[in-house]
Amino acid sequence: MNQPIKGGRGVNALPFVAPSVVILFVWMIVPLVMTLWFSFQRYNLLSPELSGFVGLSNYSFLLTDPSLWIAMANTLLLVGGVLAITVVGGTLLAVLFDQDFFGSKVARLLAIAPFFVMPTVSALIWKNLLMHPVNGVSAAIARALGLQPVDWFGQWPLFSVTIIVAWQWLPFALLILLTALQSLDHEQKEAARMDGAGPLAIFWYIVLPHMGRAIKVVVMIETIFFLSIFAEIYTTTGGGPGLASTNLTYLIYLRALLEFDVGTASAGGVIAIVLANIVAAFLVRSIARNLDA
Amino acid sequence: MRLKLDRHAALSVTGWLAAGLLFFPIAWMLLTSVKTEIEAVATTPSLIFTPTLENYVAVQERADYLKFALNSVVVSFGSTLLALALAVPAAYGMAFFPTKRTRGTLLWMLSTKMMPPVGALVPVTLVFRDLGLIDTLAGLVVVYALINLPIVVWMLYTFFREIPREILEAGRMDGATPLDELRFLLLPLALPGMASTGLLAVILTWNEAFWSLNLTAAHAGPLTAFIASFSAPEGLFWAKLSAASTMAVAPILVFGWLSQRQLVRGLTFGAVK
């Protein structure tokens, strides 16, 4: 099936494909070259007369600056934390919503809803309505239980951001993993049940291996997105207190648009690109394998 | 039988509990949007109150709300149309006249999507400043069209590949040129696929916040920026924030629910179907 039509009468597809390729190429290469170029320059928009080639000093300045390492550590914690919550939670939820129960279709729609909420809305809803230390729901619950309300963004800034992002992306993992799960042959599960396999054994030996590839795809796609988390930090903590919830993306934003330090921000941008590309290489390879199938 | 019923009941309770927990923040936002400001910040939240629509009226009356909403509509639909205009021919060419470079081209397009936006923040800001595109709708339309182009091409490509070749063969026998083919055979057949591709692009653009926060100010800001402006003053306008948020989220939520299947295909580049 779906064999390409042989002998397309010498149809040349290039004019169809070329516009997209050229435009994407420009969109990729111009910022990349400019970022690389600026990363070797001293260039601050506030004092442009001091510009000039400075070699690697932007990089050495950044790499010896503790704030970069704090931001890197925060990035790793944030990515790792949200990944752990969404992959484990998403797998369990996918298994749950794969079953038929009373109103399961409606429940499923409600469960995936958070993914469609824009990041600035979810950040503010959580920050104010839910996590506010005085007027929020969590504070009311804590008081009702006789506990001290938690000042989420003061005491646990990074953890609070992690919760918000995890809430938004749990439905994504659920949606992808559920789709993968629904393609599982139910006769196979039935056969295993006949042979006396318990639900746990079926989950461990049949369901989980079947979902393996989808889980891998979820991990990689989420990682790409989580490296660039921005709006949730921007609207809640502003990276603070101090640098406690500043990730790499936010640090570069601070340098570029608040301190107008183009050189250092660009060096940070190059570091972010390298980081993302390590993940991207794995992702592209895994998708390429599927392209032939 | 008894055991089966119990199992079904337990499953229903667990399922609805999970769904309820995940949906709770949205439900609470809806509830808060029909409270008065005083009820909205009550330290002991009440579930029994007289609902009011005054917050929706108040938000609508803010002169700038409509402008932000309109910006969101223009930017998300404009960029989607632009991306489709570029992507339809490209996906058509690659799906129906593949060469040995097609595979590489597709994967390369995918890889451009992996570039972290912050890596392009400085150059894009500077180029936009020099071109006078900062805080303009045209600038945002172009940026979002380019950001979504790889996903749009990929999704269309997977849809085009599923169109039965025999129909095209038949058209070709009757002497249709490739352009006729595209117009009279392919587009009608591919319309559902194109619609869901467009819908995904609209959803992604509507909710994107990195570029909209960084490239706009008072003039071209979409709803993401409008909502973010509520975080600045410490005044507690939670009911109005909730009403504005509800209006910003509702249309996209409906779109998302309608297109959840195709969404998986688009978001995983066809790796999970």
What pLDDT does residue B131 have?
Answer: 93
Chain B residue with CA closest to A170: the answer is: B22
CATH architecture of the domain with range A65-264: Orthogonal Bundle (1.10)
Q: How many CB atoms sit inside 10 A of residue A137's CB? A: 16
Of A12, A122, A253, the CB nearest to B118: A253
- Confidence bin at B74 (pLDDT 50/70/90): very high
Mean pLDDT of B147-161: 89
In this predicted structure, the answer to whether residue B233 has a pLDDT above a threshold of 60 is no
What pLDDT does residue B3 have?
Answer: 65
In this predicted structure, the answer to whether residue A1 has a pLDDT above a threshold of 50 is no
- Confidence bin at B266 (pLDDT 50/70/90): confident
In this predicted structure, the answer to whether residue A199 has a pLDDT above a threshold of 50 is yes
What pLDDT does residue A7 have?
Answer: 44
More confident residue, B270 or A175: A175
Q: What structural domains does chain B harbor?
A: 55-267 (1.10.3720.10)
Please indicate whether, in this complex, the C-beta atoms of B242 and A2 are within 8 angstroms of each other: no
Which range has highest mean pLDDT (A58-67, A189-198, B75-84)?
B75-84
What pLDDT does residue A291 have?
Answer: 65
Helices of type H across chain A: 14-39, 57-64, 66-97, 104-112, 119-124, 137-144, 152-155, 157-182, 186-194, 199-202, 208-226, 231-236, 248-253, 262-292
Q: What are the extents of the domains in chain A?
A: 65-264
Query: Contacts of residue A126 in chain B, CB cutoff 8 Å?
Result: 25
What pLDDT does residue B178 have?
Answer: 73
Q: How many helices (H) and strands (E) does chain B have?
A: 14, 0
Cβ-Cβ contacts under 8 Å between A and B: the total is 321
Look-up of token digits 């299947």: B261
Exposure class string for A222-233: b at 16+ Cβ within 10 A, else e: bbbbbbbbbbbb
More confident residue, A119 or B181: A119
Chain B residue with CA closest to A133: the answer is: B43
Among A95-104, A192-201, B72-81, the range scoring the smallest mean pLDDT is A192-201
What tokens appear for A229 in the block?
């988390």
Q: How many helices (H) and strands (E) does chain A have?
A: 14, 2
Query: Contacts of residue A215 in chain B, CB cutoff 8 Å?
Result: none
Phi-psi sector, A198: left (phi>0), alpha (psi -120 to 50), beta: beta
- Confidence bin at A23 (pLDDT 50/70/90): very high
Distance from CA of A233 to the nearest CA of B (A): 11
In this predicted structure, the answer to whether residue A76 has a pLDDT above a threshold of 70 is yes
In this predicted structure, the answer to whether residue B28 has a pLDDT above a threshold of 90 is yes
> Of the candidates A154, A169, A147, which has an alpha carbon nearest to the alpha carbon of residue A229?
A169
Please indicate whether, in this complex, the C-beta atoms of B261 and A107 are within 8 angstroms of each other: no
More confident residue, B114 or A204: A204
What tokens appear for B136 in the block?
């303009």
Please indicate whether, in this complex, the C-beta atoms of B120 and A262 are within 8 angstroms of each other: no
Chain A residue with CA closest to B11: the answer is: A101
